Amino acid sequence: MPAVPADTAVMRPPPQIRRARAAVAALFFANGALFANVVPRYPDLKAALDLSNTALGTAVGAAALGGLLAGPVAGALVARFGSVRVAPISTFCLAGSVALMGVAPSWAALVAVLFLMGAVDSAADLAVNAHGLRVERRYGRSILNSMHGIWSVGAVLGGATGAAATGLGVPLPWHLAGAAVVFALLGWAVARFLLPGRDDHDAPARPDGERGPLRWRSFGPAVLGMGLIAAMAQSMEDAGATWSSLYLREDLGAAAAVGGLGFIALQGLQTVGRLLGDGLVTRFGDRAVALAGAALAAGAMSLALAVPTAVGTVIGFGAVGLGIGTLIPAAMRAADSVPGLPRGLGLALVGTVDRVALLAGPPLIGLVADAAGLRFALLVIPAAALVVLGLSPVLSGRRERAAAR
């Protein structure tokens, strides 16, 4: 983040900026809720199409491939048309892909729909974060954690809706089509309140000493580390999203309505971590918060897998959510402030690293689950947390944040 005078943080922004914050938060909310409505229905998709764990994992992996391939195009679209246009349009397209998932007639069709979902989600993710960082700069203080917290609120609501629809036996096509309509309308309603103009219009200029040709060795290792932190956080979240309901229902014998509680717990406590995250990071620094969170995620999930019970597993997934809450916003903010990089380029690079690392995750977990059991495959969660512990030095500590002010 740019340096901010101490008294700027307490100034009340003008109404236009406050409305823009509410609007981009609504798009974060819609993004989280759309995806999460699908998660508790994975077992129903698996059963309806008679898929193995490997087939389901491969289909979910198609979303990561779509996001990876669409990433450069999404970046170009945001650069050309601005996040003010791309963010709401990509939300409409994401809603459409969710509706299509409910009527996929075969594994190949499901792969195609998930590929499309990943592609449009890549554009939505880049656009809402770019707009969120733009609003953050106008606020003069950290608000990105709370934006991601709103995404988590949407994910909790979406997960609860999906679990309720599962328990009530609502047909999958009707459930997903209804969710798509609701959140597409929300995106349309708030689009008019976003900040107009280019995303770099109000970005502070770089000092003269930071200009000149970019050299990978000067920024590459740090940005790669930031991208891997984001990827490990996303991998832990996606593992819970994709496999928690299957693990609870098929391995631990939980009821259908209970199967969604692991994901809801993860998203619920992740929301708490993100909504409290701005204050904690300000006080202790990104690095200390990341270390504590990764240690919590590794320890809690290891214990839940070592002593497998439905209650312990739900608690374990909740602890993972609490631990990873601030990791992705921290990586994005740090990447967007790397000296010498134009605004937005670091953010795009972190997103690319994130999606490259995620591409193999779901199929790999599916393969391991088919060969050795899903319980063993979920050890990927504590392993990813250990990677975050090792990479945490690329994040700023309390002294660096104090110096930035």
Q: What is the pLDDT of residues 76-124, one digit of tens each?
A: 788 788 888 999 999 999 999 999 988 888 899 999 999 999 999 988 9
> In the structure, what pLDDT confidence band is assigned to residue 217 with cuts at 50, 70 and 90?
low
Q: Could you tell me the sign of the dihedral formed by the alpha carbons of 251, 241, 92, 363, in that order? A: negative
Quick one: tokens of 24? 């981009």
CB 125 within 8 A of CB 203: no
* pLDDT for res 204: 47
CB 64 within 8 A of CB 359: yes
Dihedral of the CA atoms 271, 275, 277, 283 (nearest 10)? -150
C-alpha pair distances (Å), 130 with each of 78, 134, 145, 222, 344: 9, 6, 14, 20, 7
- SS3 state of residue 194: coil
Quick one: tokens of 287? 């690095």
CB 378 within 8 A of CB 266: no
Over the stretch 270-287, which tens digit does the pLDDT of each residue have? 889 988 888 888 788 888
Task: Please name the CATH architecture into which domain 14-198+219-404 falls.
Answer: Up-down Bundle (1.20)
Question: The pTM is what?
Answer: 0.76
Burial of 237 (0-12, 13-18, 19+ CB in 10 A): buried
φ/ψ (deg, to 5) at 204: -65, 145
Q: What is the mean pLDDT of the chain?
A: 83
CB 94 within 8 A of CB 33: no
- 3-state secondary structure string across 335-350: HHCCCCCCCCHHHHHH
